[in-house]
Amino acid sequence: MLRASFVTAIRAFSNRNMSIFTQCLNPLTGVASWEEKDQYYDYHQEVARSAFADMLHDHERNEKYYIALKAAIEKKHQAGEEANVLDIGTGTGLLSMMAAKCGADTITACEAFKPMANCAAQIIKENGFEDRIKLIRKRSTKMIVGEGGDMPKRANILVTEVFDTELIGEGALSTFRHAHEVLLEEDSIVVPHRGTVWAQVVESTKVCAWNRVKPIKNGEMLVDAPPTIQACSGAAAVHDMQLSRLPRDAFVPLLPAQPIFRFDWSGKKPLLNNEKVSLLTQPIASGTAHAIFMWWDLNMDTDNQVLLSCAPVWEHPDVPDDMKKDATSLKKMTDTIPWRDHWMQAVYYLPEEVPITYGVEVNVIGYHDEYSFWFKLLNGPLNEIPDCQRPECNCWAHIAYSRTRIGQLNDTVRNQRYLQALRRKITPNSVCLCVSDGCLLALAIARLGAKVFLLEQNFLSRRTMEMFVQTNGLSDRVKIVESVDGLPEASEIDFIFGEPYFLSSIVPWENLRFWYLASRYPSSIARLPVAATIKAAAVEFKDLQKIRAPLGACEGFDLSSFDRLIQASSEKSDNPVEAQPLWEYPCKALSSSFDIIKLDLTRNVNFDERKRITGEIPILDSGCCNGVTIWVDWQLDSDLSISCGPIEEIVPGERISWDPYTRQGVHLFRKVFNVTKGSTLSWSFTFVPQSGEVEFEFDVLTND
C-alpha cells in the first residue's frame, strides 16, 4: 500500500498491546484515515531511514580510510607512542575494527543513535573485537575524559566520517573543534587530515530550469513570470545532484574549477563557523553565469598521499586529461569513477545571472556558516569582500514547488504538446476546470480566451498562482477555488483539464488524483488527458541497488547484523516502490516496456470495482535483474501523449534515457537474479478504487 503519511501519530492500547495510530492521507482519494501500526513502527522507520549501505558499499572510501588509519597508527608507534584511537560516529563499528586490525593500543568508539550503537556492539562482538573496542553510546560532545569517564585520557588519533554533500552540513566544524578542545591530545593525527571545497562557475539553461520558473511562449507570450519570481535567488537548500550524469553539452564552464575553501581538520588552524573568501579569476569562456557546481575532496593522511575526491568526471583527478577533453571518452569514463549517493555534487544558484567576458577578471566570492555555503560573483578586483546574506526564497514558488516540478514547468517540449492538444479542445467560449497544483497551462488556456476555474487546495501553491494571475492580467478570466467544496457545478463547465500534477503525489500514479476529482462530474464533460497507462520494465541498475543491497562482508569484516537490522525495519516501514530521479541513476533494460494497466479517464472511477491483474514478460537480455522501473504515460488525445518515464524507446540491452523533470517508481529486489534470455518477470497489480490502494508485486523466474 502506497500512502503519504502525516507527521501526526497517537498511541493507544489495543488488545493489551501498545499500538501506534498514524494519520495517513491517501493521495488518490484525498481522504485522511487513521491506521494502526506496530508499536515499534516509529522505531523501525527511524532505523530504516538511517540505512547508509551505499556508503559502506563505497570500496574506495573504505580502502582510503583503512590506508590512512594504518599510516596514522604506524606513525605513532614509530614515534614511541601508544596509538589511542577515537572513532566519532562509529555507525557499524567498521572504522574502529579497522583500527583494531591495524594494531591500535586503545580504541574508543562513540555512537549516539541507540539502535545503531546496539548493532555496532553486536558486530564488534561477532568479529572478535569486543575486548579491544570500548563503545560509548552518546554524542562525542557529551563524552567525559578522565578517571571514571568515558575515556581515561585523551586520544591521539581521531578517525571520523561526519560529512555530507556540503561537507560541513552534518556539523563537522563543531565536531572537530570540540574534539580538539576536549577529547584529543595536542599533536593528534586526524583521519581525514584536510578537506577542500571546489567551485566551478557554469552557464547552463538546463540546470537553471530547475531553479527559476520561466515564461511560457508559443510564438507569443502566453504566461509571463512575476518579477518577484524572476528575481528570486531560489530555495536556500543546496541542490544535490549526480553531476557526472549531466550531459556534457548541457553546460559550459566559464571559469576553471578551483579550490575556494580549505578546512584543516588536524587542529593546526582554527575552524571558523563563518568565513568569506574571494578568488580573482580569469574566465576561460564568455557567457552568462547561472550557477556554481561544488564538490569536495579529502586529504586522508598527514603526508597528503591519499586523496578521496568527489569531483564529477570532467574534473576527477583519476581521469586522464586527454580524456576530459573528448566527449566520447568522458562518457565512458563516467562509469569508472566511484559512485556515491551519500556524497554527491551540489549546485548553487547565483542570486542573479552575471555576464562573463573572456579576458575580464571575475571575483568568485564564497561564504559559509556552520552548516552551509553560498556564492556571489562580481566583475573586476575588490578592495573589500562584501557581506552577503545566505540567499533564500522570497517569492513563495520555491517553497511551494520542488525543483523537479519547477523543471517540469519549464519543459518546453512538454508544454508545447499540452498546448497543441488543448488548442484542439478550447474555444473562446470554453469554460474549463483545471484540477492540478500550480498549473501554468491553465493560465495559457485563459490567455487563449477560455474562462478557467483553478482548484488550488495548497496555500503556498495558491498564493503563487495568484501572483501569476495578477501579473498576467487574468483576474477576470481565472477564478481560483480553494477547496473541493467550492468547485463549480457541472452546468457551469464544459471541459476538465489536468497536467496531472499534485503536491501530495510522490510516485507517478498518485497523480491519478485528477481522475478522482474529474469523477465528481458527469463523464459526458470532455476531459484531458483521456487515458493513463501504468508501464514498467525489468532493469539492471548499475549502482542504485546499493542503497538497499545487503553488505555481508565489508573490507573483510562481517556486517551481516547490520543487514538484518536494516532489512527487518525496512520491511515494516518502507513502501516496496519508491520514487527516484532515474536520469541520475543509469540502468540497462532487460525487458521491453510493458503495460500494467490502461485506465480510461473519460469514464468515471468505478468505486465498486476491484482490479487485480497478473502477467508475465520475457527477459530479452542477459544481466543482473535487481529492479523494476514503473512510470505513467498520459494520453492527451488520439495522437498526443506525455510520458513521465523514458524519453526514447526502450531497447533491451541498452541504457534507458529518462525524463529529467519527473521521478519514476522503482522496485528494488532484495534478492538479485542473474537472468538470461528465456527468464521471465512475473508481476501482479492490485487497485482498489474505493480506498485508493495500489499494490505491485514482482518476481523473476530464471532458467535455473
Cell 532489512, located at residue: 567
Coil vs helix vs strand at 208: helix
Distance of alpha carbon 368 from alpha carbon 364, whole angstroms: 13
Tell me the β-bridge partners of 554.
Answer: 557
Strand order in the sheet with 373-379: 275-281, 362-368, 373-379
Tallying the residues shown for the chain, one arrives at 704
How far is it, in rounded angstroms, from Cα 107 to Cα 422? 68
Nearest-CA neighbor of 525 among 613, 433, 454?
433
Q: How far apart are CA 38 and CA 47, in angstroms?
A: 14
Which of 111, 161, 456, 499 does the annotation list as catalytic? Answer: 161
Of the residues 170, 185, 361, 370, only one is catalytic, namely 170
Task: Round to whole Å and give the CA distance between 204 and 202.
Answer: 6
Q: Which of 525, 494, 487 is nearest to 430 (CA)?
A: 494
Q: SS3 for 693? A: strand
The grid coordinates of residue 59 equal 570500496
**Sole residue written with cell 517540469:** 408
For residue 288, with 0-12 CB atoms within 10 Å meaning exposed, 13-18 middle and 19 or more buried, which class applies? Answer: middle
Q: What would the DSSP string read from start to end of 426-460?
A: --TT-EEEE-STT-HHHHHHHHTT-EEEEE--SHH
347: nearest Cα among 207, 251, 231: 207
Please choose, from the candidates 440, 451, 498, the residue with its C-alpha nearest in 3D space to the C-alpha of residue 475: 451
Annotation marks residue 170 as catalytic: yes
Cα angle, residue 213 at apex, residues 208 and 217 outer, rounded to 5°: 105
CA–CA distance, 205 with 445 (Å, rounded to integer): 26
CA gap 118, 141 in Å, rounded: 20
- Three-class SS state of 300: coil
What backbone phi and psi angles, to 5 degrees, belong to 573?
-130, -20
- Asked whether the beta carbons of 365 and 384 are under 8 A apart, the reply is no
- For 55, residues 6+ apart whose C-beta sits below 8 A from its C-beta are 61, 161, 340, 342
Q: Write down the residue that cell numbers 490567455 correspond to.
A: 447
Active site residues: 161, 170
